[in-house]
Amino acid sequence: MDRRFSGRRSVHGPESLEPRVAFSATGFSATGPGSCATEVIDWHGGRVTAVVDQWVGRSTAGLQTISADAHARGWTTSDLGDGFFSLSTPGWSRDRVLAWSAGVTGLGSFDPEIAVRPTALPNDPSFASQWSLDNAGQSGGRIDADIDAPEAWQITTGSRNVVVAVIDSGIDFSHPDLAANIWTNPREVAGNGVDDDANGYVDDVRGWDFVDVDNTPQDGFGHGTHVSGIIGAVGNNATGVSGIAWQVSILPLRFQNNSGMGYTGAAISALNYATKLRRAGVPIVVSNNSWGGGTTFSSTLQSAIKSHGDAGITFVVASGNSGADNDAVPRYPSGYAGDNVIAVAATDASDNLASLSNYGLTSVDLAAPGMGILSTLPGGGYGGMSGTSMAAPHVTGAVALLAARKPGITPAEVRAAIFGSVDPLASLAGKVATGGRLNVRAALDRLSGVPAPAP
């Protein structure tokens, strides 16, 4: 993306805030009682998972002729009622079976038997209020104006082998909906006063606090905890809300104080901490950066973001909440050039560009839900917040699912999967580079090479 820059500034804070059931066509294999071998095939212009050697059809002339013809070939049929039947064709290629079906009189329809699975829905009691994940119009919005999270969960619900750095105001890492998904440094011995992993930080078992300069990055502002819940509140634990990644390892890096204020030096330190861990083998795939420093440019901060990318970490960033065109007046850090940078605008529950959201045809990549987003708050609570600060972690959560699906994924692969699979929206045409809103299921399909369905 084209990204323009000017000036300098050192102060950074969070972006200012304003107070379906589907079936999967993703291939899978199964064995054991009641299960069938399957394969992914092309059918009617799409990719479907078909049961090997199994077909279904309907005859308008009765089943006797079809059954007799099938039995002569060593096939078997089963009556499904009302002229419908299933057909088993062991050892025959699909082309040969289709050639046979073309010559059968009275065969009204004939298809492979398709494997289906129900959408994965979590049992978290407030999931029904999370319109951004599954929009049924519960917030007065448009049905399906969401990121297709339940459809994505058919493929993966995440992995704790994926590490996400949240560079923000810290995290309430004892929150009952976050505690199980907080990263623990496996190379550090807690409380022994020794830098066991030799990374320059003593007892950094749960990340680092660059404000108070200690190993307790606890959230005193609330912003970082809310962002973290969007990314990775524990899913299907019968508690609170569900994150986009049900399982993930969230690394708290606190650089904003209890008033939400942070500075460039601390931001650079947090970025470099994550970069150093990644180079040491910690599987950090993405950092979430829901903060902004206005219209001034820092070459040093941009260099730290580039080093982040060189190490293999995607930098997801909020576009800002001024309702302004970032192409005309660049805002940072979303305006920094970089092959690992993803800048995110915000949409509402009706798939409109949020009035507060910054945009930019060359400087903002895509949009994601950001208005009235329910998530975790310090002290074990929950509440709603709005802004591009909430939109960015939707993309970060999507990256976590992509990384769970494809370990070792690169920033280039992340960008290709996400940018190439957005839901195009008229409200975003000419406003963001992709012209669309995040669709995490479509991104997973694109990563797997599954063609997108026709509009």
CA 345 from chain centre, in angstroms, equals 15
Please calculate the CA angle 432-314-47 and round it to the nearest 5 degrees: 70
Task: Determine the Cα–Cα distance for residues 66 and 28; give it in Å rounded to an integer.
Answer: 31
Helices (H) and strands (E) in the chain, counts: 9, 19
Beta strand 373-377 with 366-369 is unpaired
Q: What is the DSSP string of 389-450?
A: HHHHHHHHHHHHHHHHHSTT--HHHHHHHHHTT-EE-GGGTTTBSS-EE--HHHHHHHHTTP
- Told to judge if 168 belongs to the known catalytic residues of this protein, a careful annotator would answer yes
Of 240, 217, 130, 236, the C-alpha closest to 165 is 217
Q: What are the residues whose beta carbons fall under 8 Å from the beta carbon of 450, sequence distance 6 or more?
A: 25, 26, 47
- Euclidean distance between CA atoms 399 and 286, whole angstroms: 7
Find the catalytic residue in 148, 168, 177, 209: 168
Residue 351 DSSP symbol: S
Residue 424's DSSP bridge partners are: 436
Nearest alpha carbon to residue 53 among 70, 72, 33, 32? 70
Known catalytic residue at 223:
yes
Catalytic residue among 12, 389, 394, 423: 389
Distance CA(393)–CA(171), nearest Å, equals 14
Q: Which of 175, 223, 308, 394 is catalytic?
A: 223
Strand partners, 13: 292
**Which residues are designated catalytic?**
168, 223, 389
